[in-house]
Amino acid sequence: MELLSAAEAASLLHLQVKRVQALARAGKLPGRRVGRKWLFDRRDLERLLGRDAPPQALAGLDISARNQLRGRVVSLTIDGVMAEVLLRIGDQELVSIITRGSAERLGLRVGDEVYALIKSTEVMIGRDAVPA
């Protein structure tokens, strides 16, 4: 068992130390209080991040979304708790903003082939102005 301090847990989870402590106090993050300090088992945190599942655990997963576009990651910018993923789909580009944790859990790298799944209640259509 590898125990982490609140600061180490915050670094692993990409959260502020105060947020980690608040989540632990609320019972939403597995941790133990020893005196005035919080300690966290690395395995518990890794499990929450989904890192203990085998890489092929979701292979063959069917998804209800029909708007699935296959593309290639051409740019990946990770800053703080968010990640910007730029995909090339044919001759078009699509930008997706996801959490840093999701990008890391998926192991995203430039050049990877991925799917963009689009689920929305509204789709807008635009076109160039047509002369009257």
DSSP calls for 44-85: HHHHHTTTTS-TTTTTT---S--EEEEEEEEEEEEETTEEEE
Asked if 49 and 10 count as a contact pair (C-beta separation under 8 A), the reply is: no
Q: How far apart are CA 104 and CA 48, in angstroms?
A: 13
Starting at the earlier edge strand, list the strands of the sheet with 113-118: 92-99, 82-89, 67-79, 113-118
Asked if 86 and 75 count as a contact pair (C-beta separation under 8 A), the reply is: yes
On whether the pTM is more than 0.85, the answer is no
Cα dist from 18 to 41, 42, 80, 89, whole Å: 18, 18, 16, 41
pLDDT in tens, the chain (132 residues): 789 999 999 988 888 999 999 999 998 899 999 888 999 998 888 888 776 544 444 455 566 666 778 889 999 999 999 999 999 998 899 999 999 999 998 999 999 999 888 877 676 777 788 777
pLDDT (0 to 100) of residue 70: 85
